[in-house]
Amino acid sequence: MVVYYKDDFGFNLCFTVRNKTDGSAFDLTLYTIKFYMWLPSAAAPKVNAGVCNPIVAASGTCAYPVQAADFDTIGSYNWELILTKAGTEIHVRGNYNIVIKEEHP
């Protein structure tokens, strides 16, 4: 679990995509990367197809710039990246939750 606070924004969520078979970095070169984040009980995602930008594509790193409304609702969110290249989609499901808490300590 990663914890952030309600109404925080203006920073990047950074991800490293790895190959399932051996854990090596997945080369993101030429992939379009979309970020999704949702509460398990919600009918629609809180973040729906947010654009992730490669940091070092060959190293599998990318970042999603957190927007003003992304963290305005407290809860424990699931997340996923969808990688698209030449009509092929790869779904990368987060192995931890993004938790939004009410206030800073």
Dihedral of CA atoms 54, 56, 57, 60 in degrees, nearest 10, equals -100
pLDDT at 47 over 80: yes
CATH code, domain carrying 91? 2.60.40.3350
Contact status, residue 12 vs residue 65, Cβ threshold 8 Å: yes
Which domain, by its residues, includes 22?
2-101
Q: How many separate domains does the chain show?
A: 1
Residue 9 pLDDT grade (very low, low, confident, very high; cuts 50, 70, 90): very high
pLDDT at 105 over 80: no
What's the rounded Cα separation, in Å, for the pair 34 and 89?
11
Tell me the mean pLDDT in the region 48-59.
97
pTM for the whole thing? 0.92
**Strand 12-16 relative to strand 75-85, pairing:** unpaired
Residue tagged 């192995």 (tokens): 95
